[in-house]
A and B are shown apart, each in its own frame.
Chain A
Amino acid sequence: MEWTWFHAVVIGGALIAALTLFARAIVHRYRLLSALGPAPDATAGDSKERLHELLVTFLGQKKLFQDIAPGVMHALIFWGFLILLLRGSTLFGMAFFGFDFHLPLLGTDGIIGRFYSLFKDIANVTVAIMVLYALHRRYLIRVPRLLNTGGALFVLVMILTLMVSDMIFDGVLHASARASFEWFAPVGSGLGVLFASGGGALPTEITIAGQFGFFVHLLGILTFLVYIPSGKHMHIFSSIFNVGLKPLNRSGRLLKLDLEDESIESFGVTKIEDYSWKDGLDLVTCTECGRCNDACPAQRTGKKLAPREITLSQKHNLLDDEAPRLLASPRSPEPVKPMVPDVVTAEEIWACTTCQACEQACPVNIHYVQRINSMRRSEVLNSGRFPVELKRVFKGMETNSNPWGIGVSNRMKWAEGLDVPLFADGENTEYLLYLGCAASFDDRAQKLSRLLVEFLLRHQVSFGILGTDEGCCGETARRLGEEALGQTMIQTNVELFKELGVRKILTLCPHCFNTFRNEYSDFGASLEVIHHSQLIARMIDSRQASLQAGVRGRVAIHDSCYLARVNQETEAPRRILHTSDQVTLVEPREHGLQGLCCGAGGGMFWLEEHGKRINHERFDQLMLTSPDIIATCCPYCLAMLGDAAKDNAQAGVRVSDLIELVE
């Protein structure tokens, strides 16, 4: 098999054409993203953390392994590609310099080159097998979350073609050199021996096949290059940026909206360019894998909301509907399609529990919660459009600083007959115990407040409460898009905390916990925040507290999203239950960082739920572990799962907060 100038001319011409087309597409995408809003937190923060993110999430493919089989498949293809990048470069070199070309150090006369050659062969075969597995998943198993688009099929067939064509070319090259079998080229030399097995000169068909393999491989790579920017495989290029430019410290933290600037006349996202360029990068990076949908509690229970479909609708809106307008000069401020309801419907945005399961699942660090929240903000603050049930909630918070709308004077009703110390000052009192609205007004959760206070008094923990001065922490209002109301309540609290010298806050509710921990710093408060489960765990560790003697049998833990996934606290509740040999800890299929939401988050507690209820879905999953007790650590989870338990009274399970299990 011979190299001729023809190889250089054909491949050279195709290379120039493909690079030109590719560059044009990339410049177009770049200009489009530049037309979106600024994203200061995409570059801010610790660069070591970003490097770590690149190593673990991008190179290490860590998040993919949450779904193990396809995770391994993808990782092997990805790692295989990294090795084959060098092979591709070598083949382009061969097109210009002859078939004996090799990259420095990679000639098979040296040990490095031999090992490279071995890995290259292994990669070729592995990638090909993994592609067959991918085809199997898509077209035989028909995994529901996958979108079987023409693009997906095209790319898989293309990759397979690239692998096979290279193997054939390599085999023929070995055959024409009459090489014997070599350990460092098992595929190439193996095929070479096979092809040359007839003896004498190589049959023409074989040399033609080799040449054909060479051209198919390189032209295939170039076709791939041109195709990539238009489809989901854009992630091959953009995911490294999307992973590395991930806004840090965003878990559980909504962006603070500027309400000071009176000249701002529109809040949140009404059109695509109200998003940041990083949001835009999220959209073009989506691989359509559907892991977000599989994780989403709303999608799982048949709601219209599907994180992937929101992303794809917005991507389509950016690349197709609005692109000409965004790139025009001067640019019209009127969108072709207003974001809600034309691109995303109200039904979708008002179904999100903000549980972050989608973000936990996404292998390329796409953010969804803020994107949905920004649409809620626009609906509430600009248009006053939201589900009718929320008006009472907003008014309740506005007038009485709690979503129940119960009078401020009743805030301490849970404590009747109990002598609870008021927080006087931060010098003499360690913790401000912040009970939160649920534990102050919800009948069931009020019991938790009493138990926690009694527990703290019994163990002589230094604490005080705010009494009727306690207001809403602002978490729910902000998650429901009522940023103005949320910020007003937060500012009131921040001033009160400063006045009283509050430094450490103990919360009963993970929602208060999260907002104090992650969001109050944006409003000038620096607080050390601890959740009651963490304090109890600490006291259990030091043997000050223990599980109640009556707590025995199988106990299933239901992780609160805002404690576990959002704030990475999965150990404390387990440590508490691990102390007794009377207790067998059982875990539902989804637990810890992957735990399924109870359905209450993001203000969904206050909305009518249609179709299958999320709390029932979660309850059913928990019941598969045959528990005697379901342990929760959030008053909202308690209410939701408690309701599900009432609806399934025959299940005979007890749903309890951890504070009800310790003494």
Chain B
Amino acid sequence: MDIAVVIKQTPDTEARIVPDSGNTKQIVSDGINFILNPYDEFALEEALTITESSGGEVICFAIGPESSEPAMRTALAMGAARGILITDPGAVDADIVTQGKILAAAIRTVNPGLVLCGREWIDVQEDALAAILGEFLDMPHVMNAARITLNGSQVTVNREVEGATFEITSPLPAVVSCQKGLNEPRYPTLIAIRKSKSKELKMMSSADLGLTSIVPASQIVALEAPPPRAQGKLVTGETDQLVAQSLRWLSDEAKLI
């Protein structure tokens, strides 16, 4: 059974994100280090573990500019067999519903037995991808898997919610989004990185998939940094003064007491 894994290249979690003043829909990418979306690593690791024990290939799908090839290469180095990267600006700039539609069209070409993706894209904080893919692929979907067990034509997913764990069984093929804790993603070895250089990475456009006119479901109007947090107040002095001053602020200024 082949497994399709949807991945994305995102800014590093430590990157300082600044909206681009020249283009209000973009961030400044200079000085930002990009990584493979951390949740996608869980999806990829799970797919690799499954195919290593029960056969099949892992095929990665992503939408992003050509500069997002490194994330795809990381996925190939981790063990994916091949990758498809959709690079046309129409797809790259589209909203998640439209991107889901494009990804679904691409995934359909490989006829996978299971589709995995990360729980969330950490850059735009979109977490509806599994549902959207399920809709367009006409497959059931389960979100936030903390454990995935395959048995024959079914997949059983443990999904953790606050204070409880759902155990959900679904027929295959299905779409499952993966949560932290599902596994410990492997570290690409130098040997694997070298071998991955010869793996197939296909650059495609939405048009190649027969999607010629893309009508976004929503559009980004503007991108703004949150207002900087106001400076805190520091009180110094003896304990009595500290308490008195703090109380004064809490009652007079903050009106909390």
Residue numbers of A with Cβ under 8 A of B are 259, 262, 265-267, 380-384, 386, 388, 391, 394-395, 399-400, 405-410, 483-484
Contact = CB atoms under 8 A, between A and B. Distances in A.
Nearest to B78: A384
B182 to A, nearest CB: 15
B37 to A, nearest CB: 13
27 contacts: A259-B190, A262-B194, A267-B191, A381-B189, A381-B191, A382-B189, A382-B190, A383-B189, A384-B186, A384-B187, A384-B188, A384-B189, A384-B192, A388-B184, A391-B184, A395-B35, A399-B12, A399-B33, A399-B35, A400-B14, A407-B12, A407-B14, A407-B15, A408-B14, A409-B15, A409-B16, A409-B31
Given A388-B184, A400-B33, A407 B16 contact: yes
Q: Which of A259, A382, A388, A399 has the most CB of B within 10 A?
A: A399
Nearest to A380: B189
Q: Which 4 A-B pairs have the closest CB atoms?
A: A407-B14, A381-B190, A384-B189, A409-B16
A274 to B, nearest CB: 14
B184 A405 contact: no
A51 to B, nearest CB: 40
Interface string B1-25: 0000000000010111000000000
A383 B35 CA distance: 22
A405 B14 contact: yes
Contact of B187 (A259, A391, A400, A483): A391
Nearest to A262: B194
Contacts of B16: 407, 409
Given A388-B184, A400-B33, A408-B33, A484 B190 contact: yes
Contacts of B192: 384
Interface in B124-143: none
Given A388-B184, A399-B12, A400-B14, A408 B190 contact: no
Contacts of A409: 15-16, 31
Contacts of A410: 14
A386 B15 CA distance: 27
Contacts of B35: 395, 399
Nearest to A382: B191
Given A400-B12, A405-B14, 13 more contacts: A380-B187, A381-B190, A382-B189, A382-B191, A384-B186, A384-B189, A399-B12, A400-B33, A407-B16, A408-B33, A409-B15, A409-B16, A409-B31
B156 to A, nearest CB: 26
Interface in B177-203: 184, 186-194
Nearest to A379: B189
A471 to B, nearest CB: 12
A388 B185 CA distance: 10
A386 to B, nearest CB: 7
A35 to B, nearest CB: 24
Contacts of A262: 194
A262 B191 CA distance: 10
A398 to B, nearest CB: 9
Contacts of B186: 384
A386 B191 contact: no
Interface in B96-135: none
Contact of A386 (B14, B31, B187): B187
A497 to B, nearest CB: 21
A410 to B, nearest CB: 8
Nearest to B74: A398
A394 B187 contact: yes
Contacts of A267: 190-191
A384 B185 CA distance: 11
Nearest to B16: A409
A546 to B, nearest CB: 33
Nearest to A400: B14
B108 to A, nearest CB: 33
Nearest to A468: B31
A656 to B, nearest CB: 26
A446 to B, nearest CB: 17
Contacts of B190: 259, 267, 380-382, 483-484
Nearest to A257: B190
Contacts of A380: 187, 189-190
Contacts of A399: 12, 14, 33, 35
Nearest to B185: A391
A239 B234 CA distance: 68
Contacts of A384: 186-189, 192
